[in-house]
Amino acid sequence: MSTRRIRGAAVTAALAAAVTACSAPGSGGSDDDASAGSVSIAVASEPDTLSPLLGYGKDGNSKIFDGLLARDAGLKLKPALAAALPKVTDGGRTYTYTLREGVEFSDGEPLTADDVVYTYETVLDAKTNNTFKSELDAVKEVRAEGDDRVVFTLKYPYAPFAARTVLPIVPEHLAGKQDPNTGSFNTKPVGTGPYVLTKWSKGEKLTFEANPRYWGGAPKVKSFTMAIVADDNVRATRLRSGDLDGAVLPPNLAATFKNDDGKRTYQARSYDFRAVTLPTAGKVTGDRAIRRALDAAVDREAMVDRILDGAGRPAYGPLPVDDPAFSTSVERPRDLGKAKRILDEAGWKPGGDGIRVKDGQRASFTLLYPSGDKVRQDHALAYASDAKKAGIDVRVESATWEVIEPRMKDTAVLAGFGSIGDPDFGLYTLLHSSLAGDGFNNMARYDNPAVDRALDDARRSQDPDERRSAYEKVQRALVQDPGYTFLTHIDHMYVLADRWDGLNTQLEPHEHGFASGPWWNIEDWQPKK
Whether residue 327 contacts residue 475, with contact meaning beta carbons closer than 8 Å, is answered with yes
* Mean pLDDT for the stretch of residues 340-367: 97
pLDDT, averaged across the chain: 91
More confident residue, 28 or 476: 476
- pLDDT at residue 34 is higher than 70: no
CA-to-CA dists, residue 342 to 386, 473, 475, angstroms: 15, 22, 20
What is the Cα 418 distance to its own chain's centre? 7
Cα gap 374→325, rounded to integer Å: 31
Pairing of strands 246-249, 361-362: unpaired
- Residue 15: per-residue pLDDT: 33
Q: Report the Cα–Cα distance between both ends of the chain, in Å, rounded.
A: 50
- Residue 367: per-residue pLDDT: 98
Residue 126 DSSP SS3: coil
Amino acid sitting at position 432: H
Whether residue 292 contacts residue 456, with contact meaning beta carbons closer than 8 Å, is answered with no
Pairing of strands 273-277, 412-417: antiparallel
Q: How many residues does the chain have?
A: 529
Cα gap 483→246, rounded to integer Å: 37
CA-to-CA dists, residue 492 to 239, 408, 495, angstroms: 17, 26, 10
Cα gap 66→165, rounded to integer Å: 10
**H or E element, residue 414:** strand 412-417
Burial 199-221 (b: 16+ CB within 10 A, else e): ebeeeebbbbbbbebbbbeebbb
**H or E element, residue 252:** helix 251-254
* Mean pLDDT for the stretch of residues 325-351: 96
Give the confidence band of 36 by pLDDT, cuts at 50, 70, 90: low
Cα gap 213→108, rounded to integer Å: 8
* Mean pLDDT for the stretch of residues 66-76: 95
- Residue 358: per-residue pLDDT: 97
**H or E element, residue 143:** strand 139-144
- pLDDT at residue 417 is higher than 50: yes
Contacts of 153 (CB under 8 A, 6+ apart): 93, 94, 139, 140, 141, 142, 143
* Mean pLDDT for the stretch of residues 426-448: 93
Cα gap 120→170, rounded to integer Å: 10
- pLDDT at residue 98 is higher than 90: yes
Give the confidence band of 152 by pLDDT, cuts at 50, 70, 90: very high
pLDDT in tens, 295-304: 999 999 999 9
pLDDT in tens, 175-227: 999 999 999 999 999 999 999 999 999 999 999 999 999 999 999 999 999 99
pLDDT in tens, 468-489: 999 999 999 999 999 999 999 9
pTM to 2 decimals?
0.85
**The CATH classification of domain 273-490, taken from the options 3.10.330.20, 3.10.20.880, 3.40.50.800, 3.10.105.10:** 3.10.105.10
- Residue 439: per-residue pLDDT: 87
Q: Return the CATH superfamily for domain 13-231+492-527.
A: Periplasmic binding protein-like II (3.40.190.10)
Pairing of strands 312-314, 195-201: unpaired
* Mean pLDDT for the stretch of residues 46-73: 93
- Residue 410: per-residue pLDDT: 93
* Mean pLDDT for the stretch of residues 9-19: 32
The residue ranges of every structural domain in the chain are: 13-231+492-527, 273-490
Cα gap 52→63, rounded to integer Å: 12
- Residue 20: per-residue pLDDT: 33
Q: Which residues pair with 206 in a beta bridge?
A: 200, 226
- pLDDT at residue 250 is higher than 70: yes
* Mean pLDDT for the stretch of residues 266-277: 95
Share of the chain above pLDDT 70, in %: 93
- Residue 35: per-residue pLDDT: 56
